Structure 1
Amino acid sequence: MRDFALAPPAAPPLTGGLADSVFGNAETHPGLPVVARRPDPGSPVWEPVTAAQLRDEVAGAAKGFVAAGIAPGHRVAIMARTRYEWTVLSHALWAVGAEVVPVHPASSRDQVEWILRDAGCVGVVVEDEQGIMTVGSVCAALPLLRHVWQIDDGALQRLMDQGTAVSPATVDSLRRIVGPDATAVIAYTSGTSGRPLGCALSHRALAAPCDVLLAGWGHTAAPPGEQPSVLAFLPFSHVYGLMIQGLCIRGRFLLGHEPDMSEAALASALRSFKPTYLYAVPSVYEKIYKTFLRTSQQAGRGTLFEKAAQVARDFAAAEERRRLGRGPGPGLDLRLQHALYERTVYRRLRAVLGGRVVRGTSGGSPLNRDLALFYEGIGVFVHDGYGLTETAGGITMQPLGREKSGTVGKALPGTEIRVADDGEILVRGPSVFQGYVGDEAATRAALRGGWLATGDLGRLDTEGYLTITGRKKDVIITSGGTSVAPAPLEQRLRMHPLVHQAVVVGDNRPCVGALITLDPQFVAHWRAALALPGDAPGREAREENALREEIARAVAAANSTVSRAESIRVFRILPEPFDVASGLLTPSMKLRRDAIVERYAAEIDAMYRARGRVPRRPVPDDAAWDDSDDVFR
């Protein structure tokens, strides 16, 4: 082993279950709004739900589950988008000692059948008629399944009505026997390769990172004296979303739900809800940045935005050097420029996010350092966190006053991180899972002497900051023996406004290649701004040539960060993006690399064959990237 980091002492241990927070909040702060919900989807009006009101709905639903025969240890799936009912029903199930099995509502029929059967679910809550039809089509293969509730058909109210004959004391008795080491959630992995595995997560595991973060960083989630507020839009079917819910309930943050992750719906919800803290994945932060850029260009202020963005990055980088003791901070000229753009640009950008966001967290995959510096420079410090399903969410955090962009921070108090000799990150701590459901072999392979082998690659610097470099199973080895981690190249490619997604390929190939999808909105804007003269056929051809050149520049920029042997030498633009429906993205928006390579095998073969037909000329090893290597057909 090498690069060992041991975090400071942990927060006080959990003594009960997750539902205790709902009941405890109602006892100590009964009138405090803890949830805000809208009367209608898309409404700009958010109605407060107090701690006492939330407790009453959770208790009522819990009584309904008891009336339906749900008992401690029973597993009930929730297959719905991020909405108010998810929070009520999950805590109601935890209150009676049941285990929640989150299922993404966009999961395929086969995925739903596998998860419900593998977990042994006795009940499932679906969102709508589509969910009813999906579950109905696999019921014959699920002999343990006895209950199906539909949220849009009034499931919450029906449960509360059915539970009226159950004594409140029954729920209290069941809740009080739930211990911190009882299983709370069976969370299935992303399934980027092979069948998803069910991770058994205890109440303690899910609460531990939330409590540590609240104790050490909770006061930074809002301006002094204000109640923190969080708009939850990431799926609760993923542990990142569950951690956000846990932070809000346990920390008495005001929690809002947005089930629609489309750009228009999210923008509207941010403006009306006005969160103080933002939780998202890198693709959301990238999309917001590109939207800033596109709207500025459409308004004729593109040059102003680009200058302001560069000043923001420079200012944040100088501030980072200062707080790390490596420099004096921004100079007078930079401070003056930053103050100017604060009045003319930055405050308007923050207004798009609701106007109250002070900080944010990015998770799920690494966040580009330049993007993190941009957000910090405009007044919204966004730090990159790290965690995985097997750790019930986050296990690192940026130390206050010593934040370092480009890293995921240091291990949370109570958690230990090591990096093995082969670069794999190993983790030990209270949030580590109990094991994979029904798969002892996989559990033994992941848990080695109390340490979780994460499958992620990374490095710890001399100060204990962790940097994620990729996944072990994603490393590409070319036919020449060069090992390439695809994530950094893909991350850099996505920073170009025209690029939506990128997948680096090259296993057993002579060089590294890339499959690229384009951002349709930015492409439309780019074409309109290009405004080439001439007849339609000729204009279209010139537009395509200009587009090829622009993507080639994006590839060259990505290549500037790696050696020549690791650089992208061929690429192909695909006509449509990867999505969950096509099976090319996981519900948590991660690439299914094996599926993508299989789906586009013909295009990949053609890409490399075309490269072989391009006339070559000898070049020295240290030469710059050569445009003759481009393949765009």
Structure 2
Amino acid sequence: MSEIAVPQSFSIPENVSMADSVFRHEKESPEFVAFERPMDGKWVKVSAREFADQVRSVAKGLMASGVEFGDRVAILSGTRYEWVLLDYAIWTAGGVTVAIYETSAADQSKWILEDSGTSILVVEKDEYADVVREVADAAPALREMLTIEPGSGGKSAVEELIARGAAITDEQVEERRAQVVAESGATLIYTSGTTGRPKGVLLKHRHLYAESTACAIALPESMQAGRRTLLFLPLAHVFARLISFSAFDSRVTVAHTSDLTTLLDKFAEFQPDFILSVPRVFEKVYNSAKQKAYDGGKGKIFEKASDVAIQYSQSLETGGPGLGLKIKHAVFDRLVYSKLRAALGGKASMAVAGGAALGARLGHFFRGVGVNVLEGYGLTETTGGIIMNTPAAQKIGSVGKPFNGCAAKIAEDGELLLKGPQVFEGYWQNDEATKDAIREGWFHTGDIGAIDENGFVSITGRKKELIVTAGGKNVAPAILEDSLRAHPLISQVLVVGDSKPFIGALITIDQEALPGWLERHSLPAGTPVADLIKNADLIAEIDTAVADTNKKVSKAEAIKKYRILDTDFSIETGELTPTLKLKRNIIHEKHGSEIASIYN
């Protein structure tokens, strides 16, 4: 099968706004607990009525601050309640939310602020303000910067905006809100391209509405009133954002945390019914459980329990487990599986994974344990998820079937093409990139895929050079590679890390620069690179070059480990094109062991 289309069973109102649900909940279910906030060691409930009051008040403050319909307001913050409050307030005031990672380097923030024409920037902490202050001052459209959690004595962004909006009436807010329609811009999210310069993806209210509706159709058991989830992925990422507004629309209670070091404690406290995560978190849960078992002398028990969980899951696709497997599974459920479920809060029987490949083995393991991880696929350009495994239709190892109203097709070169009501219309102020991405009505993902006879989509490779780490972070290798190649001692660099926990690199030494370096370090002329790979002075110099390069990107994009090769890439060996571009696939094949050693 080369194409699959799922009929659309819902319509999108012409005047829809994503802020509508705030005031609908206020009217229809005012006591619905929309959020729980961690305050003074406790989870404090926020009702739909309280949330609507706060959204309305902050929106008034934005209007009093000069935010007009269509103006861009940026949020640079970790995942927290105020992020969502500001998001809905911006929509209520008719604005467009610009999402910026709190880990973004100053240069990245500079480009986003200038390209988006952001008028107000809200940062989480003073330390973030210090990082971006210089570039913020240079952004021509930016009028001011507010802080969510300022130092002692300072007024928070929310407090400041509420105070400013005191003279704005409810009627004025409603007039502004009425200007927002389905075709109005809702958010501007910047996604890395292979050139390294982020491209702005403008998503409209109708895109977000379609995504929320399709998500509710795909996950009826999770997206329903009374369910609970804990969001810990960055809200600047479209994946977390879609769950945020989809959950709110469906009256799911949401809590937030950005401290991954205390994540298991938060799971235990909040006890979510379902979890949204990237595969790396599930890998960590598995690896830490395995390591803990070995440390306690129970490694063999864990290995057997793991094998039984995988067998049990696999049997569900072939008629179900036999009596013997059921008995083994029940035994290990008491010994091992129940403890793993407890680590996730004890109530979660389902999770959604995206942003990177999960892997069939891990998928079967968790389903066998009793936490069914539903893998999906999507991009910023598709408002997050557009293909997904669901409780009703799942094939572990695939990313599932297209959402309601969406279509997928495999092009002649194997590239995955997509259509759907949540697919964006084009990049912000970048017609050339838009023409390249959207052709004949199909969005070209840059990924290589396949569709089986039952309509399940699998991602088999990556057409473009963009790297997606196991944590779901998009990394453009060109920035890192170009910067490192500027060092006189370095000839070529290949950045790696696709579906890996961090970014690494292979580095080759410039043979022409080597003689002078050897002389300066009083080493024999002609010393081969193979004898220098562990030389302290050489390593120190490369370390410095890597450190300088890492200053240009966020922490998640920084090179954590590298390997120096004893031979250079060349046209003759087939590793470079005639124009000296890297043949990445060839290098990966030839130097697979060196790449693997980075992650050992």
Which bin holds the TM-score, normalised by the shorter protein? Answer: 0.7 to 0.9
SS of equivalent to 1:137: helix
Alignment of 1:381-396 (within 5 A): 381-396=372-387
The Cα RMSD (Å) is 3.2
Q: SS of 1:436's equivalent?
A: coil
Report the Cα distance in structure 2 between the residues aligned to 1:437 and 1:116, rounded to whole angstroms.
13
Distance 1:229 1:584, change over 3 A: farther
- The corresponding residue for 1:36 is 36
Structure 2 partner of 1:582 = 550
Task: Check whether the contact 2:194–2:465 (CA below 8 A) recurs between aligned residues.
Answer: no
Aligned with 1:38: secondary structure? strand
* Pair 1:403-2:405 in alignment: no
Contact 2:222 2:273 in 1 (8 A): no
Gaps of 5+ in 1: 322-326, 477-485, 495-499, 508-573, 613-624
Give 1:188 deviation, angstroms: 0.3
Shift of 1:604: 3.6
Q: Which digits, 9 at most, give the CA deviation of each residue in 1:394-446, with x for residues without a partner?
A: 00122433310000000001011111010111111111112111111111111
Question: Per-residue deviation at 1:193?
Answer: 4.2
Contact 1:106 1:580 in 2 (8 A): no
1:207 CA drift (Å): 2.1
Residue 133 in 1 paired to residue 94 in 2? no
1:607 shift after superposition: 9.2
Residue 331 in structure 1 maps to residue 361 in structure 2? no
- Structure 2 Cα separation of the partners of residues 584 and 414 of structure 1: 41
Match of 1:444 in 2: 435
- Distance in 1, Cα, partners of 2:18 & 2:5: 27
Residues of 2 paired with 1:149 and 1:448: CA distance? Answer: 41
Q: Distance in 2 between matches of 1:70 and 1:580?
A: 38
Partner of 2:462: 471
Which residue in the other structure is 1:77 paired with? 74
Letter in 1 for 2:435: R
Q: Shift of the alpha carbon at 1:12?
A: 3.1
Residues of 1 paired with 2:313 and 2:543: CA distance?
37
Distance 1:459 1:93 in 2: 40
Q: Give the counterpart letter for 1:300 in structure 2.
A: G
Which letter does structure 2 place at the counterpart of 1:227? G
Query: How many aligned residue pairs are there?
Result: 513
228 and 277 in structure 1: CA distance in 2 versus 1, 3 angstrom threshold: same
Return the offset for 1:606: 5.4
Within 5 A, what are the aligned runs for 1:88-487? Answer: 88-153=85-150, 154-191=156-193, 193-220=195-222, 227-261=226-260, 264-319=261-316, 321=317, 327-474=318-465
- Cross-structure match for 2:564: 603
- The 1:372/1:64 distance shift into structure 2, 3 A limit, reads same
Deviation at 1:339, TM superposition (A): 1.0
Question: Helix, strand or coil for the counterpart of 1:31?
Answer: coil
- What amino acid sits opposite 1:119 in the alignment? S
Does structure 2 conserve the Cα–Cα contact (< 8 Å) formed by 1:490 and 1:504?
no
For residue 585 of structure 1, report the CA deviation from its aligned partner. Answer: 7.6
- 2:71–2:119 contact (8 Å) kept in structure 1: yes
- Distance in 1 of aligned mates of 2:142 and 2:592: 59
Query: Is the Cα–Cα contact under 8 Å of residues 363 and 385 in structure 1 kept in the other structure?
Result: yes
**Partners of 2:423 and 2:403 in 1: how far apart?**
13
1:106 aligned counterpart, secondary structure: coil
Q: CA deviation at 1:451?
A: 0.9
Question: What CA distance in whole angstroms lies between the structure 1 residues aligned with 2:363 and 2:50?
Answer: 38
Local SS of the residue matching 1:435? coil
What CA deviation, in whole Å up to 9, does each residue of 1:428-484 have, x standing for no partner?
1111112111111111111112111111111001111000112202499xxxxxxxx
The Cα shift of 1:147 comes to: 1.9
Return closer, same or farther for 1:473/1:580 CA change in 2, 3 Å cut-off. Answer: farther
Q: Which amino acid aligns with 1:388?
A: L
Q: Which amino acid aligns with 1:431?
A: Q
Seen in structure 2, the aligned counterparts of structure 1 residues 504 and 166 have a Cα distance that, compared at 3 Å, is same
Shift of 1:191: 4.4
Report the alpha carbon displacement of residue 580 of structure 1 after superposing the two structures with TM.
13
* Counterpart contact for 1:60–1:163, Cα < 8 Å: yes
SS in 1 for 2:220: helix
Point out the more displaced range, 10-19 or 247-256: 10-19
Contact 1:490–1:503, Cα closer than 8 Å, also in 2: no
DSSP-derived class of the 2:450 partner: strand
CA contact (8 A) 1:192 1:586 kept: no
Q: 1:330 to 1:284 in 2, by over 3 A?
A: same
Match of 1:562 in 2: none
Shift of the alpha carbon at 1:360?
Answer: 0.5
Cα separation, partners in 2 of 1:220 and 1:138, compared to 1, 3 Å: closer
Task: Please tell me whether the aligned partners of residues 108 and 553 of structure 2 are also in contact (alpha carbons under 8 angstroms).
Answer: no
* Inter-partner Cα distance in structure 2 for 1:584 and 1:402: 43
* CA drift at 1:300: 2.1
Alignment partners' CA distance in 1, 2:552 and 2:287: 23
Matched residues in 1 for 2:368 and 2:104: separation?
38
SS state at 2:352 partner? strand
Gaps of 5+ in 2: 151-155, 468-494, 509-541, 574-588
How big is the shift at 1:575?
10
- What's the secondary structure of 1:297's corresponding residue? helix
- The Cα offsets for residues 544-597 of structure 1, whole Å up to 9 and x where unpaired, read as xxxxxxxxxxxxxxxxxxxxxxxxxxxxxx999x9999369867x5x68xx79x
User: Could you tell me which residue of structure 1 aligns to residue 586 of structure 2?
Assistant: none
Secondary structure of residue in 2 paired with 1:295: helix
Matches of 2:82 and 2:194 in 1, distance apart?
29
